[in-house]
Structure 1
Amino acid sequence: MMTYTWTLVIAVLVDSANGAGSQGDIQPCARIHTSSSVVPLGSPVTATCVIREDCPLVIGQAVHIEWRLGSELILNSLAANESNRVSRIVVPSFNRTEALLVCCIQNCSQVVTGVEIRAGYPPEEPRNLTCQTKFSSPSSLNCEWEPGQRDTHLPTKYSLHTEIRDINENYTYKLPPDVHHYSIPRNEFVLFNDIKIYVKAENDLGVATSAPLVFDPVQAAKFDQPSIETLGVEPKRLGCLKLKWRMSQQQSWFSHNQLSLEVRLWTADSDQMSGPPILVSQVRPSKAVTECCRLLHGTRYLAQIRVRYYMRGPWSEWSSSKSGVTLETAPTGRLDSWMKVSKNHTSKNLDIQLFWKPSKQFRANGQNLTYVVLKPNRRDKRERMCSTNEKWCTFQVSRRVRKVYLSAVNSVGESPLTEIRIYQPKAHTAIMDVTAVPHDDRSFLVQWRAEVTLGLTDYVVEWKPLLNLDLSHIRFEIVNKNLSSLIINGSFEPYKPYGISVYPRFKDGMGPPQTVNAYLRQKAPSVVPKIQIKKTWWSDIEVSWDEIPLQQRNGFIKSYQVFYWEENGSVQVERANAEDRKVILKHLNTPSTYEAFMMVSTFGGSLNGSTIYVKMNSFDALTVVITVTAFGVGLALLIISTIWTCFSKQKKLNGYMWPVVPDPANSSIKKWSSESTQFTHPSWDNEEPNPICLSHLSFLDLPTKLSKEEDDIWLNSSEDTSDLGESICGSPFIPTYSGSNSESVPYATVLLSSCNDPVPDEPHVYLRSESTQPLLETEESFTPKCYQNVANDRMSKEQCFFGPCDDDIPEGEEGPAIVWDDFPFLRALAMNESEND
């Protein structure tokens, strides 16, 4: 681009200086003379600039000529001005592939003239010239070659030259630059005559010629695909197939005895060739028939062929395949087996899963194989358990059976029996640290570590697809006990999960396996689960999601990430591992609307789900429920605590609500401060008990008269007692009592008051009871006796409240007199007795 820009500048300036507007004046104002405009890259360049005397740019003035190479000014040390009209320059090394060399004046503000200099390399000899004859329509001789390895930086032209020696015909084919192939038409070469072909490469710095090829065009012919007509057998030719073939219709004229034939075969159940191709160097010219032997018996083979001219021409493409089956014989060799044993919980039998596959020595020698599983019975005969075309079988046997037999059967015979022992499962673990990683696009590398080796015989590596649990897809491999790794090959699919297990086998049983899951390749999941709101709080939300189905995971789930943000707010993220399928979105503002989406990641990629919107309310239903629940719980706790207090303080409450009348036989009326009254009538000062005194005692009459048999000691008195006295606290009283002839039965009313309370000014109030039941009805004497009183649980001896006990009074002496003032109620009783007497 720079070259064309400078060329345009030069043309404009020179034309304007020379008066190019006049059509008659076409002479340049100056000229540059160089040895060559194309030079080898890195070589020196010499140039001379000559300005015409009549050049309008320099008429009448002295000028100094300067040089510019491209956009760079050349130092004056490299230029030699012979006069003010002639200047010569030498560039010691031209290191550009192309550049504009300019002659200018007035500090290079005005360009006088310029020339373009190009640099490069001469062409190298063309290499790897090859020619191939094509017989298909249209026929041609196609030649191609490779240019030299070094770039010449110059346009290089190629030409193809041919010489037919016998007829002395020469042809030259000139090609456009950088074209390295050419097809010679059929009318310009002759079959079965040698032809000489070579290539020339030419540019401004030189010419190079390739090494010539001399050959017969037939030798260079690539034939069309041949075809196989039949692939069959001959009677009594075991392990042989007879192959009949032909050339294409356009090349059927060609003689077969001039061709070489190559055959390749492989078994139908294999995706690889059975061995190196079988080469047949000569074919009988009478008919195209060949025989392939040393093949497996009773095996279906696929065959392909290709041909070429003698041993020197190029091979044709492989023909389409044809199948054939060799003659059958009885199967030979043994089968590799793998048995999984488990105990049946409903019966005393064993559940057996038996798998097998051909060993390296096994030969089916037939097409329609049937596999038979037998077990021995008591009569030394064998009972058939399975007969199947599959390579697995399930059955049940008694726990007394120790072995079964396996054989393969075809139309000719059966293979030798393979004995399979039935081992009970062992409980102890022998395999540790099983790993399975991709080895390449078709296989896994399985590694493990043995913890127990005593009695170990070998390992069984089993693998199966987890998306298809059919037993026919289970594969296994038996591994030597000294190995701890295995490369398993199979039709593994990417992005599909596989379960790989390693079993240890011992002489007396089978150990439990260690199982891992593996993916050949992983990618992002196919779906993202839908986010569901599970719980809400004031400013937090718990979201959850369902597990991704196994067939849509496409790899191991590495993590779940929930991204959420408020409008115009920063993005926050909460992460959860593969096991936890819930996260809590924390510190949300209320009321606000949040956007959220989930990203699920495997070790092969990530996938984002759809965006959802979450609105946070300032007071929602959950808040109401929480508030009501809290209030209810608090109220329930208050009620429970109140009830508990009532039960624990029952005696104090009873004392406040229901005063207790003391037992006159076990207490003093003058001063009553028993332990029960302390709890029944609690005082405001807990340091001292609160004495309760009897303030008033009266007898009330019944309106009806009782019979004499029902009279008690209260009815034997003939005089009425309306009052028994003043306050017990200090005023004595004389009670009156109406006898049995009275119309009423006296009842006693006791009024209690504190001894410390001031004596009220109001008169005593007497209460009467209209009850018809006697208050104290007894037939015993009222003579004071010694009463037994147990003060508490720790005190069990008798106490006498009305004087010393009889046991304590010496014989012949009387006890101390009873002071009745201390017992006003009993005093009244005593008075009534004395009056009745």
Structure 2
Amino acid sequence: MKKKQGLLWMLLNLIVVEGVHSCRITVASSVIQFGSPLSASCDCPHLRSSKSVVVWKLDKDFVPCNQTSDVQMSTCPLYFPNFNKTTGVLQCYLRRNDVLQLVDQTNIKAGYPPSPATNISCLMFISQNIVNCTWQLQRDSLLEENVTLSAFRSKDECETPSSAEYICNPPKGIHFCIIQRKYFNNFDDLAVRVTVQNKIGSAPSSLLCLKPLFEVKVDPIIIDDAVPHNDCVRLQWTYGKKANFLTAMRCQLHYKMATEIEWTKPIEIPVDVKTADQCGLLAATKYDFQVRCIRKFLTGQWSEWGPTRSMITAELAPAEKLESWWRTLESTQNGSLKIQLMWKKLEKNKANADHVWYIVKSSSDLHETNNILCNTTNLNCTIVLHEAMKSVFIWTYNNAGVSPVKEMTFPARIGTPVSKMLVSSNNDTSLQVMWDPPSSAEGYLLEWYKCTELPDCEMNWKTEQKGSMSSILQDIEPFQRYSVRLYPLYQDCIGMARETDAYSKEGAPDYSPEIRLLTVSKSQAVVQWDPIPVQKSNGFITNYTVFWTDTSGKENSSTVNGSTATYNITDLIPSTTYQVFLMSSTSGGSVNGTALMLHTANLGLKVGSGLLSQILPTVKWES
């Protein structure tokens, strides 16, 4: 029975399908403007007298038709007053006995008419003998677009074509066309138009009329020569082999030091000049230079900046006197002094060279050769100052010349010191120095050095101007103790130094000292330790803490000043073993030392450390 029903169903379907082959959806156009009306009908001529009904779907939704009394139910015209989908699948079904049969479908696309291309420009590249035209497209029309560039030569301001038209249809996404040399002449007008088309309409641009040689982009400019002289560099360039016939070009120069990233602002060069002197440069310094050019009337486009040409400027004589200072190293019995002269390195823009030398003489005559005390590249020099010598003279020199002379005198350091000075941490790598300034001081000099490097320490120094009340000392190493001295400088003498020690950052000491037992009795024990050396302390020792613990685990402690090296432990229990250790502290942290074992005496017995070591060995343990 089921098999007979299945065969009957297949037969009915075949009858329906045979009748629907002639059903067709009719629309005015399958591509319409977005938001415009859309009319459609589904006509099935062979089914007009049947009881089938036309049903519409747009994508996944059923759509009612616009039925009137004089239209057959099998036609069912459809009308959208405002079609607002960019794409849609319109389907026509027949319904008979509650069965839907798809009879036809069509794809509807909606979009906008094309917009004209904008920003159309054409540039002639002389070295390639081409004209490259570019443009930009406006809003997306939502439909597939074709772009056509057309061009022709003309001799009457693009009114009449004088040769065959050039046509270019670039692929989708390409917004340029290259016009080869045979389609243009350098001085003839070239007319260019870009037309955008889709299935709704066409949008031609306005006509661009140009003379190719007036719309030139020359190749990057190569600097042929660069010659340093004084504080200048003279540059010379050409426009390129295929652009040498061009005249009335306008060029720009920019430059930078080779170590910098940012270039200077472009510097204008007079029209059609192919050389430039760039002055005001630092001596003995590497600079990078680039040039670009454009036609005088700024038609066309600037060339790309040309290849970088680098040049090291000439050396000049040092421009300033040295800033100097001195310290006494040793006094002799005959009244002579062994002193160290020190001076600051000139900045590059003052030294005017990468390498300089320093010469110290006992007279101000630079040309005398028998009174040279030092000739060095170092920033210091040790000399013997005889009693008759009141001053020495120092110059800086390089391959280009000599600096102004600096006279150094050695006044006594007997003036009034500053009344107060405070040195504190500014951050982990610097110290801040503050003081009360004497009213008559003409300036100040600061010295600082690592205390761990005495006596052969490297001296750092700097000056501060009159009226200064503070200074920052840079390049300080954390956990290192520095000694800082401040000298006020008076008109006729140097003030006596005010000195203090400081850390930029403190930490826990490298270790805590071992405790030694001096004496022990039934209730007391005296212990001793060696101070921590400065190079191991990592800060100022603020205190020591002595800990002692008996066999029951009861712990006691006592804190003593950081300058103390002994402690008397009291209230001990006779005949009892104790563990004793020392904790050492700075403001940056603490560290525990190893421990010793001691045993208190009985019946008032007092034992020295030597005898105790024979009776009860010392045991060390890590706390």
TM-score normalised according to structure 2 size: 0.55
Aligned to 1:176: 171
* CA distance in structure 1 between the aligned counterparts of 2:312 and 2:484, rounded to whole angstroms: 40
Matching residue's letter, 1:135: I
CA 353–173 in structure 1, closer or farther in 2 if over 3 Å, else same: same
Instruction: Tell me the percent identity.
Output: 20
* CA distance in structure 1 between the aligned counterparts of 2:104 and 2:391, rounded to whole angstroms: 106
Offset at residue 304 of structure 1 (A)? 3.6
Aligned to 1:114: 105
Whether 1:434 aligns to 2:427 is yes
CA 174–228 in structure 1, closer or farther in 2 if over 3 Å, else same: closer
* CA distance in structure 2 between the aligned counterparts of 1:396 and 1:316, rounded to whole angstroms: 60
The Cα offsets for residues 301-322 of structure 1, whole Å up to 9 and x where unpaired, read as 5544333333323233444444
Contact 1:267–1:299, Cα closer than 8 Å, also in 2: no
* CA distance in structure 1 between the aligned counterparts of 2:469 and 2:86, rounded to whole angstroms: 67
CA 378–110 in structure 1, closer or farther in 2 if over 3 Å, else same: closer
The structure 1 residue matched to 2:434, chosen from 452, 463, 466, is 452
The structure 1 residue matched to 2:402, chosen from 414, 419, 441, is 414
Matching residue's letter, 1:132: L
1:694-705 alignment runs, 5 A limit: none
1:491-510 alignment runs, 5 A limit: 508=488
Contact 1:260–1:307, Cα closer than 8 Å, also in 2: yes
CA 33–353 in structure 1, closer or farther in 2 if over 3 Å, else same: farther
SS of 2:83's equivalent in the other structure is coil
* CA distance in structure 2 between the aligned counterparts of 1:402 and 1:113, rounded to whole angstroms: 117
* CA distance in structure 1 between the aligned counterparts of 2:437 and 2:501, rounded to whole angstroms: 15
Offset at residue 161 of structure 1 (A)? 2.0
The Cα offsets for residues 707-750 of structure 1, whole Å up to 9 and x where unpaired, read as xxxxxxxxxxxxxxxxxxxxxxxxxxxxxxxxxxxxxxxxxxxx
Matching residue's letter, 2:403: S
Matching residue's letter, 2:203: A
Offset at residue 258 of structure 1 (A)? 3.7
1:309-458 alignment runs, 5 A limit: 309-310=295-296, 311-322=298-309, 330-333=317-320, 355-358=344-347, 362=350, 364=352, 370-372=356-358, 374=360, 385=374, 387-388=376-377, 393-396=379-382, 407-417=395-405, 429-430=422-423, 432-434=425-427, 452=434, 454-455=436-437
CA 265–65 in structure 1, closer or farther in 2 if over 3 Å, else same: closer
1:233-248 alignment runs, 5 A limit: 241-248=233-240
The Cα offsets for residues 530-581 of structure 1, whole Å up to 9 and x where unpaired, read as xxxxxxxxxxxxxxxxxxxxxxxxxxxxxxxxxxxxxxxxxxxxxxxxxxxx
Matching residue's letter, 1:110: Q
Offset at residue 128 of structure 1 (A)? 2.0
The structure 2 residue matched to 1:308, chosen from 294, 305, 316, is 294
1:730-749 alignment runs, 5 A limit: none
Aligned to 1:635: none
Contact 1:408–1:415, Cα closer than 8 Å, also in 2: yes
The Cα offsets for residues 642-691 of structure 1, whole Å up to 9 and x where unpaired, read as xx99x9xxxxxxxxxxxxxxxxxxxxxxxxxxxxxxxxxxxxxxxxxxxx
Aligned to 1:124: 115
1:472-511 alignment runs, 5 A limit: 508=488
The Cα offsets for residues 394-426 of structure 1, whole Å up to 9 and x where unpaired, read as 555799999997654244532234689999999
Offset at residue 101 of structure 1 (A)? 0.8
Whether 1:292 aligns to 2:281 is no
* CA distance in structure 2 between the aligned counterparts of 1:192 and 1:512, rounded to whole angstroms: 83
Offset at residue 92 of structure 1 (A)? 4.4
Matching residue's letter, 2:267: P
The Cα offsets for residues 360-408 of structure 1, whole Å up to 9 and x where unpaired, read as 7x473xx5752426487999999655632xxx63555799999997654
1:522-561 alignment runs, 5 A limit: none
The structure 2 residue matched to 1:94, chosen from 56, 62, 83, is 83
Aligned to 2:56: 67
Offset at residue 177 of structure 1 (A)? 3.5
* CA distance in structure 2 between the aligned counterparts of 1:78 and 1:373, rounded to whole angstroms: 109
* CA distance in structure 1 between the aligned counterparts of 2:223 and 2:282, rounded to whole angstroms: 22
Matching residue's letter, 2:237: W
Matching residue's letter, 1:223: V
User: Greater strand share, 1 or 2?
Assistant: 2
Offset at residue 117 of structure 1 (A)? 0.8
SS of 1:255's equivalent in the other structure is coil
Aligned residue pairs: how many?
445
1:43-58 alignment runs, 5 A limit: 43-52=36-45, 54-55=46-47
Contact 1:69–1:99, Cα closer than 8 Å, also in 2: yes
Higher relative contact order (CA 8 A, sep 6+): 2
CA 379–214 in structure 1, closer or farther in 2 if over 3 Å, else same: closer
The structure 1 residue matched to 2:145, chosen from 156, 159, 171, is 156
Contact 2:65–2:78, Cα closer than 8 Å, also in 1: no
* CA distance in structure 1 between the aligned counterparts of 2:17 and 2:119, rounded to whole angstroms: 55
Aligned to 1:818: none
1:515-664 alignment runs, 5 A limit: none
Aligned to 1:37: 30
CA 117–332 in structure 1, closer or farther in 2 if over 3 Å, else same: same
Offset at residue 85 of structure 1 (A)? 1.1
Structure exhibiting the larger radius of gyration computed from Cα positions: 1
Gapped regions of structure 2 (runs ≥ 5): 1-11, 156-160, 449-459, 489-496, 506-598, 606-623
* CA distance in structure 2 between the aligned counterparts of 1:477 and 1:275, rounded to whole angstroms: 37
TM-score normalised according to structure 1 size: 0.43
SS of 1:86's equivalent in the other structure is coil
* CA distance in structure 1 between the aligned counterparts of 2:150 and 2:181, rounded to whole angstroms: 15
CA 435–394 in structure 1, closer or farther in 2 if over 3 Å, else same: same
Offset at residue 216 of structure 1 (A)? 1.8
Offset at residue 269 of structure 1 (A)? 7.0
Offset at residue 46 of structure 1 (A)? 2.6
Matching residue's letter, 2:356: T
Aligned to 2:457: none
CA 66–245 in structure 1, closer or farther in 2 if over 3 Å, else same: same
Contact 1:334–1:358, Cα closer than 8 Å, also in 2: no
CA 200–157 in structure 1, closer or farther in 2 if over 3 Å, else same: same
* CA distance in structure 1 between the aligned counterparts of 2:52 and 2:214, rounded to whole angstroms: 73
The Cα offsets for residues 264-295 of structure 1, whole Å up to 9 and x where unpaired, read as 45556766656643523123xxxxx6341544
The structure 1 residue matched to 2:198, chosen from 184, 187, 203, is 203
Offset at residue 129 of structure 1 (A)? 1.8
* CA distance in structure 2 between the aligned counterparts of 1:410 and 1:304, rounded to whole angstroms: 30
Offset at residue 159 of structure 1 (A)? 0.9
CA 38–308 in structure 1, closer or farther in 2 if over 3 Å, else same: same
SS of 1:152's equivalent in the other structure is coil
The Cα offsets for residues 413-442 of structure 1, whole Å up to 9 and x where unpaired, read as 322346899999999654545379xxxxxx
The Cα offsets for residues 153-179 of structure 1, whole Å up to 9 and x where unpaired, read as 210111112232216233332333343
Whether 1:281 aligns to 2:274 is no
Offset at residue 127 of structure 1 (A)? 2.2
Offset at residue 334 of structure 1 (A)? 5.8
* CA distance in structure 1 between the aligned counterparts of 2:152 and 2:170, rounded to whole angstroms: 18
* CA distance in structure 2 between the aligned counterparts of 1:90 and 1:399, rounded to whole angstroms: 114
* CA distance in structure 2 between the aligned counterparts of 1:290 and 1:384, rounded to whole angstroms: 49
CA 329–338 in structure 1, closer or farther in 2 if over 3 Å, else same: closer
